[in-house]
């Protein structure tokens, strides 16, 4: 039996960066609960999943309606209730299954940290850290707990926790906020507040209490639909019951059952569940393809994406960079001396990006020039260079040639242009001590260093897929615009010849025009990446962004759908909605296809549900206004719903569909559902009127109404199944057979009665009107839709 140690009895230990805590001290703190337990956000526990699926408003309504049916003794009309129970069980099972799958995947992608223990630097999971641990933070690392710097210097960005996009220099003695991230540099820091006591954990707990999860347009539309139906069924149900009992003078049993039939038809009992289950299944399918979903709502954004923003390195090209060549510019200095200075420069620089790693690999072995570094300025995406001040009062700078040379760039421009398609760096001497911010005009160019990274073998095919799907590619890079353009051309990106240097973009109108005119953007700073994403969104696009570095974080946060490579920086993975665990951009087509499949299928099957809801709602109003009997019993509605909505919707929701999603979700659903819903209202109204004049008994009329509703539902299913494939053809045929077989062989279960020849002939007449009437309504809608589109096009011109 483990013994809980009192936290207050654990004294602070102020170890240095060379020794850190001992293993024994770390275990003691963990036993006292002073470890960096990760606070969960809005993820549900198993108990919360069961509770949220069981104790819903509509389940309560269904329970009350079922109780009413039991009290009046109409047990046959309880057929709707087992369907509700089954739906609830399926929802709980799928959500728990998804939770377990994601938990396994999350463990694989859990953030790591380098900690000093027992005098050795070791990589451990962030949750294994304890108070007083000495942790090493370098570029791309997210600060995992509140800490104090004890050695080194780094630039940090706190925008994720404070909202202010400012790089802050942190040195010995400075405090670090958990949730901020390292832009450049390297520091050793002692952890002060871990787990629930850290700043970012307190924010997470507060956010969980407020439950401010941003919902997608589709889920908001469904929430609003459910909310209004939930409000309207109470007065409509009361009026229906009053109409049945006091105006039509029906007996209690008939009145209750008719009212229950109307209300059951108005409630989209399977729609919300189907949507949730389809999204959950989609998350699981993505997980099996090693794509981790942080936010379920991003799947809808993924389906609507028509612009994909990518970086050059790691997306078009491979991650690893290789030294290719060097071009000496200063012939007054011996080549061997330049190589020696480069060697000292590389040995002084921190290994916090692929470029410097490639140079270290090449120049680390060069003999020393005798210079000792006094001050190192790490590379940042904002500045585009790194620099070193040496002890002999010389300063050297390495970075983008056009940025370093400024107005004097023309002196080396022709030479740089000889290497287009490669990353070209300028190594130069900065006359006078460099302050890390301002490059003076006294620059002596010494050499051009050419770095290459290969275009991914599968990149052309990937970009061809997006072109065929109508998705525009925008390449946003910190490199020279012309260089990026050349690489993009080789990768087969459409419009790659159209490029611009982002330094030319200043005003909002500049960005708005640029995103319309150009495909490639070079020399982009992190702040301007963000502005480009905003401009694309304000131009009416749904924007996805892939990234792997610290410089991508602001843009990733702004994109409609953010995708990170797992091999990239910690913070990029943490802020993104999707993480590609294999870090392979070639996985993107399958990810986009999955998003489109699930949203298109939800939209398509939602139309099936809404047909029933439209009919039930408006016919309930008609029966109240004109004081007529509601013609459909709950058991009859169960037959229609199960064969024309429930079963086919389940299978259709899982079928392939890669079309781009356009338009508003609810508008699209209503547009598809209205012809069938309106056909039901008109034909059933006339059938009820005709039956009244012809003296047809209520039970027989109700049977005829059920058959007509079934035929309308099957006709609607036929339209939804288009274009047909073998699976959809079999599905539609099976539903047709099941519906009529149930009506013929099990009439008593569904409260159906035998019809006379006269009534059968009337039924055939109304059934024959279903298809022509529905298509007439559809064509009228299509006519006005096309007319509206033409008017909008004229206005836009």
Q: 397-400 — which CB contacts under 8 Å span 24+ positions?
A: 397/426, 397/427, 397/428, 397/429, 397/430, 397/434, 397/439, 397/443, 398/345, 398/359, 398/425, 398/426, 398/427, 398/428, 398/449, 399/425, 399/426, 400/425, 400/426, 400/479, 400/480, 400/523
Q: Is residue 109 scored above 80 in pLDDT?
A: no
**43 and 98 Cβ atoms separated by less than 8 Å:** no
Residue 1: is its pLDDT beyond 50? no
Three-state DSSP at 214 gives coil
> Using 50, 70 and 90 to split pLDDT, how confident is the model at 733?
very high
The whole-number average pLDDT for the span 744-759 is 92
Contact 322/452 with Cβ under 8 angstroms? yes
Q: How far is CA 446 from CA 285, 387, 405, 437, 547, in A?
A: 54, 14, 12, 21, 33
Mean pLDDT of 653-673: 82
Q: How confident is the model at residue 2 (pLDDT cuts 50, 70, 90)?
A: very low
pLDDT higher than threshold 60 for residue 209: no
Query: Is the pLDDT score of 207 beyond 50?
Result: no
3-state class (DSSP) for residue 256: helix
How many angstroms separate the CA atoms of 197 and 690, rounded? 73
| 180 DSSP β-pair partners | none
Question: Is residue 683 within 8 Å of residue 727, measured between CB atoms?
Answer: no
Nearest residue to 332 via CA among 404, 424, 416, 429: 429
Residue 6 has a pLDDT of 60
Distance CA(332)–CA(352), nearest Å, equals: 32
pLDDT of residue 163: 56
Q: Is the pLDDT of residue 427 over 90?
A: yes
Q: Which of 53-57, 421-425, 472-476, 571-575 has the lowest mean pLDDT?
A: 571-575
Rg (CA), the chain: 33
Tokens matching residue 76: 């046959």
pLDDT, average across residues 183-202: 85
Q: How far apart are CA 137 and CA 144, in angstroms?
A: 10
pLDDT category at 134 given cuts 50, 70, 90 is very high
Tokens of 250: 């029906």
Q: Backbone phi, then psi, for 19, in 5-degree steps?
A: -105, -45
CB 211 within 8 A of CB 42: yes
Query: Averaged over 743-769, what is the pLDDT?
Result: 93
pLDDT at residue 373 greater than cutoff 70: yes
Helices (H), 150-247: 159-162, 199-210, 217-242
pLDDT value of position 208: 46
- Could you tell me the pTM of the whole model? 0.75
> Which residues does the annotation mark as catalytic?
311
Calculate mean pLDDT across residues 698-708: 94
Close Cβ partners of 790 (under 8 Å, ≥ 6 residues apart)? none
d(CA 396, CA 359): 15
Mean pLDDT computed over every residue of the chain? 86
């Amino acid at each position: 039996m483990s013994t809980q140690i009192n936290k207050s009895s654990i004294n602070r230990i102020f170890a240095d960066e060379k020794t850190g805590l001992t293993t024994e001290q770390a275990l003691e703190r963990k036993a006292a609960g002073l470890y960096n337990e990760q606070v969960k956000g809005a993820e549900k526990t198993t108990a919360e999943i069961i509770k949220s699926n069981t104790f819903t408003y509509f389940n309560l309504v269904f329970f009350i309606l079922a109780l009413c049916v039991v009290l009046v003794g109409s047990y046959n009309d309880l057929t709707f209730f087992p369907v509700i129970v089954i739906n609830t069980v399926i929802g709980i099972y799928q959500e728990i299954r998804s939770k377990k799958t994601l938990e396994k995947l999350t463990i694989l992608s859990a953030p790591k940290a380098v900690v000093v223990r027992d005098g050795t630097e070791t990589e451990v999971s962030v949750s294994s850290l304890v108070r007083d641990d000495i942790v090493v933070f370098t570029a791309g690392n997210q600060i995992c707990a509140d800490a104090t710097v004890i050695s080194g210097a780094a630039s940090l960005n706190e925008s994720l926790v404070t909202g202010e996009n400012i790089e802050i220099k942190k040195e010995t003695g400075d405090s670090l906020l958990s949730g901020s991230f390292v832009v450049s540099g390297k520091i050793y820091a002692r952890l002060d507040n871990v787990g629930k006591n850290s700043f970012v954990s307190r924010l997470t707990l507060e956010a969980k209490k407020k439950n401010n999860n941003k919902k997608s347009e589709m889920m908001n539309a469904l929430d609003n639909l459910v909310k209004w139906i939930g409000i309207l069924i109470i007065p409509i149900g009361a009026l229906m019951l009053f109409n049945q009992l006091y105006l039509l003078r029906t007996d209690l049993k008939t009145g209750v059952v008719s009212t229950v039939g109307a209300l059951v038809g108005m409630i989209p009992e399977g729609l919300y569940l189907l949507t949730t289950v389809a999204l959950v299944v989609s998350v699981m399918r993505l997980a099996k393809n090693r794509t981790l979903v942080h936010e379920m709502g991003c799947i809808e954004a993924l389906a609507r994406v028509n612009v994909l923003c990518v970086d050059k390195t790691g997306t078009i090209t491979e991650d690893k960079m290789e030294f290719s060549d060097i071009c000496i510019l200063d012939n007054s200095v011996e080549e061997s001396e330049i190589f020696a200075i480069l060697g000292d420069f590389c040995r002084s620089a921190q290994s916090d990006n692929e470029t410097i790693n490639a140079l270290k690999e090449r120049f680390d072995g060069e003999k020393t020039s005798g210079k000792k570094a006094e001050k190192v300025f790490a590379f940042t995406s904002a500045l585009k260079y790194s620099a070193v001040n040496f002890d002999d009062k010389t300063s050297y700078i390495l970075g983008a040639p056009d940025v370093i040379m400024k107005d004097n760039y023309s002196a080396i421009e022709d030479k740089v242009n000889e290497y287009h398609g490669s990353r070209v760096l300028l190594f130069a001497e900065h006359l006078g001590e460099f302050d890390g911010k301002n490059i003076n005009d006294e620059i002596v160019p010494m050499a051009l260093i050419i770095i290459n990274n290969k275009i991914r073998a599968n990149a052309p095919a990937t970009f061809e897929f997006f072109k065929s799907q109508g998705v525009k590619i925008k390449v946003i890079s910190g490199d020279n615009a012309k260089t990026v353009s050349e690489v993009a051309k080789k990768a087969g990106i459409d419009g790659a010849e159209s490029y611009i240097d982002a330094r030319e973009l200043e005003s909002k109108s500049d960005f708005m025009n640029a995103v319309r005119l150009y495909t490639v953007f070079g020399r982009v700073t992190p702040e301007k990446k963000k502005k480009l994403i905003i401009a694309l969104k304000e131009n009416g696009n749904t924007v996805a962004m892939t990234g792997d570095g610290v410089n991508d974080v602001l843009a990733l946060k702004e994109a409609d759908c953010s995708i990170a490579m797992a091999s990239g920086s910690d913070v990029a993975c943490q802020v993104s909605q999707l993480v590609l665990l294999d870090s392979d951009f070639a996985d993107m087509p399958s990810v986009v296809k999955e998003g489109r499949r699930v949203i298109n299928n939800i939209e398509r099957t939602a139309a099936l549900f809404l047909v029933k809801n439209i009919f039930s709602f408006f016919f309930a109003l008609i029966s109240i206004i004109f004081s007529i009997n509601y013609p459909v019993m709950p058991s009859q509605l169960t037959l229609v719903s199960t064969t024309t909505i429930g079963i086919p919707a389940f299978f259709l929701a899982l079928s392939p569909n890669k079309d781009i999603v356009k338009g508003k979700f609810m508008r699209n659903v209503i547009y598809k559902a209205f012809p069938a819903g309106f056909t039901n209202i008109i034909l059933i109204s006339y059938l009820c009127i005709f039956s009244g004049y012809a003296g047809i008994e209520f039970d027989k009329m109700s049977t005829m109404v059920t058959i007509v509703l079934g035929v309308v539902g099957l006709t609607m299913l036929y339209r939804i199944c288009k274009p047909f494939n073998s699976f959809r053809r079999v599905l539609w045929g099976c539903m047709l057979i099941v519906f009529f077989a149930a009506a013929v062989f099990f009439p008593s279960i569904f409260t159906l009665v035998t019809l006379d020849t006269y009534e059968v002939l009337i039924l055939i007449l109304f059934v024959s009107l279903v298809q022509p009437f529905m298509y007439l309504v559809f064509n009228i809608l299509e006519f006005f839709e096309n007319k509206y589109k033409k008017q909008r096009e004229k206005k836009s011109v």
